Structure 1
Amino acid sequence: MFGFHYRLERNTIGFVLAVIVAASIGGIVEIAPLFTIDETVEEAPDMRVYTPLELAGRNIYIREGCYACHSQMIRALRDEVERYGPYSLAVESQYDHPMLWGSKRTGPDLARVGGKYSDDWHVAHLNDPRDVVPQSVMPAYRWLSRTELDSDDLGLHLKAMRRVGVPYTDAMIVNAENDAYGQAAPGSKRAPGVAERYGEGTNIRAFDGESDRLTEMDALVAYLQILGRLTDAAYERKTEAEE
C-alpha cells in the first residue's frame, strides 16, 4: 500500500487527480444534505426574530468570546437532555448568523438557559461569577454594567440580517433604536411598540435593574434570557415523543 502511495507522489498528474477525487467525495458528502433541507429542517410557525436589544446582546456575547467556553447545541444523548433540556433542533438556529453551536464546554451549554435563572442572578454572575458559582473559572465582566450600549447602528444591523434571510420588517428596522431602549424600560412610551412588533411574550423589563439607562449588561442579559425561547418547537416535539 505504501509503495502505491510513493509511486503516486512521484506522478504529479496522478496525485493531483487523486486529490481532486478525494476533495470531491468530501464536498458531495457535505453538500448533498442541503438538497433535502426542506424535508429535514423542522417547521416552527411560532418562531420569532431577535429584538434589537437581544441582537446587540448576541454581538456582545460574540465579542467577549463567550462561545469559546459555552456551546449552544444540546445533543440527543440522555445525559445531556436530562441536564439541559430537549435536544436542539436545526430550526432554532435559522436566524443565527453566525451560528454558535460550538463543541467546547468549559462552561455549561447555554442553548436553553433562557428563563432558567433570574435577571438578578445573571447580573451577579457576570459581575463576579464566584458570587453565585464558587467553583467557576469564568472571568468577571463588571464593565458591562458601566458601559452604555451603542445603539446608533442597530437599524443597519437589522437591515444586514434581512439581507441574509432574517424576516425583519421595515418598521422593525426604522424603530430599532427605540425598541432597544423600550425593551429595557417597561414604563416608557417606547415599550408598547416592542410588544407590538415582536409579540406580547417579549421580555420587557429593566434587565440590569436600572431602567433610566441602557447598558451592555441589559443587552447581554436580554440575549441570555431568550436562548431556547424563540420557538417552542423543541418542547412540543418532546411532548409528542412522550405521548
Structure 2
Amino acid sequence: MSASIALVDDDRNILASVSIALQSEGFAVRVYSDGDTALKALIDSPPDLAVLDIKMPRMDGMELLRRLREKSAVPVIFLTSKDDELDEALGLAMGADDYITKPFSQRLLIARIRAILRRSEARAVPDAEGEPAPAAERIVRGRLTMDPARHRVQWAGAEVVLTVTEFLILEALAQRPGFVKSRDALMDTAYQDDVYVDDRTIDSHIKRLRRKFRQVDGEFKAIETLYGVGYRFSEE
C-alpha cells in the first residue's frame, strides 16, 4: 500500500507542484489549503506523514502542530521561510520531525520524507494480540522502559509520547548508559541517507525530549549534557 502524505499550504502552486512530484514517486497525496480543515482531517484519518507550511492565515502551521500533537504523533516536516531560524527552532521544539526552508528542492523534500517513513516503518511491527515486546527486546534503564517494536516509552510507568526522531535519539543514548554520544553520532542515528542537519537541530530534539519527560517527572535529569562533547543517558 502506498504511503499517504498530507500537504498543508495556502500556496496552491506549491500544493499542485509538490503533490504531482510525490504522486510520481508512488505516494498517495491529500492536500489542504488551510489549517482548520487540515486539523480535523489529520486527526480523523491520520496520514503516514504530514508536510506543513508555517505561515498560513487563520490557523498557522505552529498552531496546527500544537493541536495535532495533543492527539497524534504522526511524523511532521515543516516548511519554513528562508533563514527564519526562530521558525525552525520553534517547530522542532513543538514536535516537528524535520524542517525544510523555502524555496526548497522537491528532490530534497522527497528524500527527507522517505528517510522519516523508513524510520517509522522500522517501528511499526504488527502485534495482533496487543502484547508488549518480550523482555529481551525491550530496553529497561532505571525508570525508563522502551519497547522498540511498538514505539512505546514509559518513565516510572507513565506513558511518554515521542516522535520517531525523538525515539531514535533516546534509544541511541539508552542503549549504552553512561557513554557519551556526540552530536554527529546522534545525527547519524536519527538522520540517515545523507540528509543534512546541523548541531542546533539535535539540541532542539534533546530539549524537547527533556521537556516531555519533565511533564511526567519534574525532577527528570537522565539526559545529561557534556558541553563541547555531546550527551549521555544516566540510569541514576
Q: TM-score, normalised by structure 2?
A: 0.26
More contact order relative to length (CA 8 Å, sep ≥ 6): 1
* Structure 1 length-normalised TM: 0.25
More strand by share: 2
**Structure with a larger share of its residues in helix:** 1
- Structure with higher Rg: it is 1
